[in-house]
Amino acid sequence: MPTSTRRSFLASVAAASAAASAAAPLAARSALRATTAPDPQKILVLGGTGFLGPHFVRAALAKGHTVTLFNRGKTNPGLFADLEQLRGDREKGDLQALQGRQFDAVIDTSGYVPAHVEATAKLFAESAAHYQLISSISVYRAFGDKAETIDESADVAEVGDEDVAKVSTIRQSMPFYGALKARCEAAAEAAMPGKVANIRPGLIVGPGDNSDRFTWWPVRIDKGGEVLCPGDEDGQVQFVDVRDLAEWMLVCAEQRVAGVFNCTGFQGRVGMRDVLSACKCATSVAVTLTFVSEEFLRENEVGAWMQMPLWIPREGRTVVANRRAIDKGLRFRPIADTVRDTLHWAKTERGDKPFARTGIEAEREQQLLAKWHSAAKSRATGEAGK
């Protein structure tokens, strides 16, 4: 799949989020926390009511921290009604509600435009000890171009000053998403040198993920029958559960972690069959997973990433190194937990909403499976006749 296609899809869903229900952290992930409880902190969240933000807020509250939200009040306006919520609009330069306020840590989950990040970071340059920007692995210049492993030292994408000057809204930033995220990282670090954690998540999944980039698989497999599965079954897959990301964000805030960190899965290699088998184990219906070749998918114009969520062809399967984040406490829950909880959320809250952006239509899927089996039968017959 061309890099531009994948980048444009990532960009189109980057700002769309939905709140995930909080779950109590598993005891097995106690290594995420320091051996002694940190002092209660005053934390400002820029955003806080979308997909990632609410889980971070709940995690912080569970640890006894005081959380204040700053946003426009348009996304999930009734959420966290008992918390202090400051109103403003970064796109309009309205930061008046933040003037003169002091916080121990600032969590920026909504920074897409460099000027916005620069303005808010400068406000707290002297008063806050920690600024955290949720960036993206899309910052990398060659991400998805070829099969290689990249770490935080890899070159980032660039965008011209004339294009940056034209961007004042999240919508306008989408064509330059990765490059502008890189500029946002630089703006934060320039305003608060040595105090910034630039966190680069990969695909964020889990309960509440309305982008459907991962959700499609648990839902599709739960319908049962024969499922068309993409490409080579051992192809490496990376993503991060929204709850694992949120918990690690809190660790970074509590421990004043600074630097640049990739935040995506896993500890060890995870293949496509591993993920889809976890989906199969989460359902009680009869399921057959049929993996077809990448060549077959290309010949039949089946698109990677969108029509076949999570699938990236071999030649463009860039692996993102995550050792730095793991060394700072990032942990991953079992994939089976992510699948089970995502499926439960989809059944109870997402409902029957169609998958408009991801997945392949049922009729088309059956046609392709029939074609795949017919070709396999023909090959077997030909070989037998030799």
pLDDT tens profile 181-213: 999 999 999 999 999 999 999 999 999 998 999
Work out the widest C-alpha separation in the chain, in whole angstroms: 83
- Per-residue pLDDT of 79-119, as tens digits, reads 999 999 999 999 999 999 999 999 999 999 999 999 999 99
* pLDDT score recorded for residue 380: 75
Domain for residue 125, yes or no? yes
Domain for residue 381, yes or no? no
Number of domains in the chain: 1
Mean pLDDT of the residues in the chain: 90
Nearest to 317 by CA among 153, 202, 159: 202
The rounded distance, in Å, linking the Cα atoms of 50 and 60 is: 16
The rounded distance, in Å, linking the Cα atoms of 299 and 306 is: 16
pLDDT-based confidence at residue 386 (cuts at 50, 70, 90): low
Domain for residue 386, yes or no? no
| Segment 154-180 mean pLDDT | 95
pLDDT-based confidence at residue 27 (cuts at 50, 70, 90): very low
pLDDT for residue 312 is more than 50: yes
Instruction: Map residue 355 onto helix, strand or coil.
Output: coil
Domain for residue 201, yes or no? yes
* pLDDT score recorded for residue 141: 95
pLDDT-based confidence at residue 377 (cuts at 50, 70, 90): confident
* pLDDT score recorded for residue 12: 44
pLDDT-based confidence at residue 25 (cuts at 50, 70, 90): very low
Q: Can you give the CATH number for the domain in which 61 is found?
A: 3.40.50.720
The rounded distance, in Å, linking the Cα atoms of 266 and 237 is: 9
Domain for residue 376, yes or no? no
Q: Model's pTM, two decimal places?
A: 0.89
Residue 358 phi/psi, 5-degree rounding, is: -130, 160
Q: Per the structure block, which two tokens stand in for 344?
A: 């439960």
Domain for residue 383, yes or no? no
Domain for residue 322, yes or no? yes
The rounded distance, in Å, linking the Cα atoms of 296 and 317 is: 18
* Number of Cα atoms under 13 Å in the Cβ half of residue 337: 13
Domain for residue 377, yes or no? no
Nearest to 140 by CA among 189, 185, 170: 185
Nearest to 233 by CA among 159, 308, 169, 283: 308
pLDDT for residue 381 is more than 50: yes
Q: Which domain holds residue 52?
A: 3-370
The rounded distance, in Å, linking the Cα atoms of 43 and 35 is: 21
Three-state SS sequence of 81-116: CCCEEEECEHHHCECHHHCCCCCCEEEECCCCCHHH
CB 21 within 8 A of CB 208: yes
